[in-house]
Amino acid sequence: MTIDIAPARLAAVGDIFFGDHYFTLGHGIRSRLSGPEAPDMLREVAPVLADADIVIGNLEGPLCHSSAQASEIEKSAFRGVPEFTEVLKAANFTHLNVANNHSMQHGEAAFRETLDALASSKLRVVGLDGSKDGYICLPVVEEVRGRRICLLGYSNVPERYTTHPLYAHFEDEKPVVAEIAALSREFDEVIVSCHAGDEGLGVPSRRIVHMFEAFEAAGARCVLGHHSHVFQPVVRTANGLIAYSLGNFVFDLLWDPDTLDSAILLVDLAPTELRSRLCVTEFSSAYRVKKQGDLAAARFSSQLEALGAEMRQINEPRYRQMLESYERRNGRRKNLFFLTHMLRGATSQKMAFLLGKLGRRTSA
């Protein structure tokens, strides 16, 4: 007699940024969420997430009242406050990855304050340093529909703020591959969330392709990438699925339209098969995550499919050209956005930020 086991349902999104960017000081996401708009930011997509057993995203930056930064500008930028965890809880999130290059930006105390805030809202943390327990990443284990699921989070992005990050960070992927292989023998499913790659492109580098394929070959059923701020191809493999980058879910890089279109990855994990689909989203200029209409969603999916077919044909010199072209284009867009929004929000802090930038260039 065959017993049908209902699949475990996973919903995954990319970067979640609840701070004000340097260019949106006083009118960015932190400022918006501190007002009456907070409940509306994720309201439209909350029902999509409600059907999943595990809902995970990458929390880009701390949620804290404290900061180890010295200047008022640095204290203000790139952090939310602990109360924002309730926005995530109301939207049906269950897990947040903290292994990324902004988690330690405001110091160790701010990082620990973030962990406490997540715990208070009953949100589980993925991506903590597990070295005291013999791991690179401390495994987070859930039992869902009779299956034991292990969630891991890592960052491969250089750490700028401390020599001892409290999250799982690696430079050489071989020990990570070995850790995934060992845990895949112990658990029914291994899900890997990884902050890696380059910013701004719709395709991963060959290095990232090879690394994520190695994670999958070691036993990861799903590899969930993030850091590029742009959604990249989702590829089905013999054993599971690789999402090279889930792009931005909540992030107000409003000068770059490619960072505003994204998707929620929905995966059914059955013992013998895996099914997936995308709910295509947009972070709007009204600071809402919205589901895109059928036409826009079809266009997004078509572009993603084309990029998936193209990405293996891009050699390293071509990839570097694409990256340099993006950096030039993005620099122009950022500067124009900054100047045209100078008088919004915290103008004095923005002016001080600009003068500091100009001063460093002059001294260099």
SS3 call for 146? coil
Question: Each residue of 168-197: pLDDT tens digit?
Answer: 999 999 999 999 999 999 999 999 999 999
- Which pLDDT value is given to residue 1? 40
Q: Is the pLDDT at 108 greater than 80, yes or no?
A: yes
Following DSSP, what letter does each residue of 215-238 receive, concatenated?
A: HHHHT-SEEEEESSSSB--EEE-S
Q: Which two tokens stand for residue 219?
A: 């036993």
Rounded percentage of the chain residues whose pLDDT exceeds 90: 91
SS3 call for 296? helix
The rounded distance, in Å, linking the Cα atoms of 208 and 213 is 8
Q: Which two tokens stand for residue 42?
A: 């994720």
- Which pLDDT value is given to residue 3? 53
Q: Is the pLDDT at 364 greater than 80, yes or no?
A: no
The rounded distance, in Å, linking the Cα atoms of 80 and 97 is 16
Taking every pair of Cα atoms in the chain, the longest distance, rounded to a whole number of angstroms, is 76
Which residue has better confidence, 283 or 355?
283
The length of the chain, given as a count of residues: 364
Instruction: Read off the pLDDT band of 363 (50, 70, 90).
Output: low
Q: Is the pLDDT at 153 greater than 70, yes or no?
A: yes
The rounded distance, in Å, linking the Cα atoms of 354 and 125 is 36
- Which pLDDT value is given to residue 2? 46
Query: Which region, left, alpha or beta, applies to residue 254 given φ > 0 means left and ψ of -120 to 50 means alpha?
Result: alpha
The rounded distance, in Å, linking the Cα atoms of 29 and 58 is 16
Nearest to residue 345, comparing CAs of 20, 11, 15?
20
SS3 call for 263? strand
Instruction: Read off the pLDDT band of 361 (50, 70, 90).
Output: low
- Which pLDDT value is given to residue 224? 98
pLDDT, the chain, mean: 95
Section 245-268 average pLDDT: 97
SS3 call for 52? coil
Asked if 24 and 64 count as a contact pair (C-beta separation under 8 A), the reply is no
pTM of the model: 0.96
Helix, strand, coil percent content, the chain, rounded in steps of 5: 35, 25, 40
Q: What letter represents residue 82's amino acid?
A: P
Question: Each residue of 55-99: pLDDT tens digit?
Answer: 999 999 999 999 999 999 999 999 999 999 999 999 999 999 999
Section 130-154 average pLDDT: 97
Distances, alpha carbon 347 to alpha carbons 20, 22, 78, 223, 274, in Å? 13, 11, 17, 41, 50
